[in-house]
Amino acid sequence: MKKILNTCTAMAMALSVMAPGLASAEMMTEVGPGEGQVNIVAWAGYIERGETDKAFDWVTKFEEASGCKVNVKTANTSDEMVALMNEGGFDLVTASGDASLRLIAGKRVQPINIDLIPSWSTVDDRLKDAPWHTVDGVHYGTPYMWGPNVLMYNTEVFKEAPTSWNVVFEEMDLPDGQSNKGRVQAYDGPIHIADAAQYLMFHKPELGIKSPYELNDAQYKEALDLLRVQRTLVGRYWHDAFIQIDDFKNEGVVASGTWPFQVNLLKADNQPVASTIPQEGATGWADTTMMHVDSANPNCSYMWMEHSLASNLQSDLSVWFGANPAVPAACTDGRGMQTAEGCTANGLDDFEKINFWTTPVSKCESQGECVPYYRWVSDYIGVIGGR
């Protein structure tokens, strides 16, 4: 984790050089009356108003108290989030680390005045100055949620938890005696290349990979070759959480990388699934609520960011998504559904073990020259297309 933090720091420094004046953009100095609405680009399951499950609603009371109607556009990948923020028309985005620094460098988001967010002091100290949302000491968002990418599996096929990610990367017969071919999935996003690199870090240490986001040409080629093998196994590349849920229920999918969100919903539906972090470790995400530079509803945006740090919201979101709150008190203060045991089960103590998503850049800390993200994008499209 220290390596990833250093990587993000190096990238943030590079971005501040590439885009001078980032820190000099004007910040709001006071929050005025709400404009009547706030438009948010968010991951599936992040902003609930009781429509999926009546027990999970952290929108209705906010709308009543603030007068700000919450409009949500669900995005399925970080690239989609960046594209939507580039198009404009949105106020906030729940950006992961592989999007946040791109948004800062592209001047699509604005600095946040943390003095206007009273609950900032309650944020996890490990997240307050995280380099995926902080450049030159300036904050470009408020932490929201973090967690690992887990391996979800069918418990009728796997009587014991798989110990390796090899069940989705290499052709084999599974414990039920049938091949994994056509029965596994992979994430439909270029950042999945990092999952292949994470696997290679463990199984091919001679490659010298220090970070799954910092790959030289030789290391990168190995990762792509592994993904080409995976391509022969994958029944569907997933990016829509609810389609993946349906595939596990109805289409014979038995193993895939996923988010805890899908695991929780399938378990709640009494489906035979469980999840694990295998021996190779896991990538993960730490998401930040960021405000568009041209937000039409900045007052409602600040009201939402403050609301998003309420420990009862953080607590219920942690239970709902199966991830970890940005506000540690949400695990223990009893204001929401989460408990200390639940946070431990979600991996609260595993922060240092997760390789958090960040955007690959050409000038990298571990070896000087690395393959930049634009190549990840084009090459992963090629892999999915069978090239």
Domain of 175, CATH number, reads 3.40.190.10
Full DSSP string of 44-110:
TTSS-BSSS-TT-BSSHHHHHHH--EEEEEEESSHHHHHHHHHH---SEEEE-HHHHHHHHHTT-B-
Decide if pLDDT at 17 tops 50: no
Rounded to 5 degrees, what angle do the CA atoms 21, 22, 28 make? 110
135 plus 157 within the same structural domain: no
CB atoms under 10 Å from CB of 221, counted, come to 13
> Which uninterrupted H or E stretch holds 11?
helix 2-18
Q: What is the mean pLDDT of the chain?
A: 92
pTM: 0.83
Q: Are residues 49 and 86 in the same domain?
A: yes
For residue range 260-316, what is the model confidence (pLDDT) as tens digits? Answer: 889 989 998 999 999 999 999 999 999 999 999 999 999 999 999 999 999 999 999
User: Do 73 and 168 belong to one domain?
Assistant: no
Residues 117 and 259 in one domain: no
Confidence of residue 2 (pLDDT cuts 50, 70, 90): very low
Which residue range is the domain that position 100 belongs to?
2-147+285-356
What pLDDT is stored for residue 18 in this prediction? 38
Residue 83 sits in the same domain as residue 138: yes
Would you place residue 131 in the very low, low, confident or very high pLDDT band (cuts 50, 70, 90)?
confident
Same domain, 171 and 182: yes
Number of domains in the chain: 2
pLDDT tens-place string over residues 150-205 = 999 999 999 999 999 999 999 999 999 999 999 999 999 999 999 999 999 999 99
Same domain, 137 and 216: no
pLDDT at 5: 46
- For the segment 343-372, the average pLDDT, to the nearest whole number, is 88
Please work out, in degrees rounded to the nearest 5, the angle formed at the alpha carbon of residue 241 by the alpha carbons of 58 and 146: 55
Convert the pLDDT of each residue in 43-70 to its tens digit.
999 999 999 999 999 999 999 999 999 9
Residue 12 has pLDDT above 60, yes or no: no
Q: Check residue 387 and give its pLDDT.
A: 81
364: left (phi over 0), alpha (psi -120 to 50) or beta: beta
Is there a single domain that holds both residue 238 and residue 377? yes
279 and 376 in a common domain:
yes
What is the C-alpha separation between 181 and 162, in angstroms, rounded?
Answer: 16
Same domain, 52 and 110: yes
The tokens of 172 are what?
Answer: 């084999």
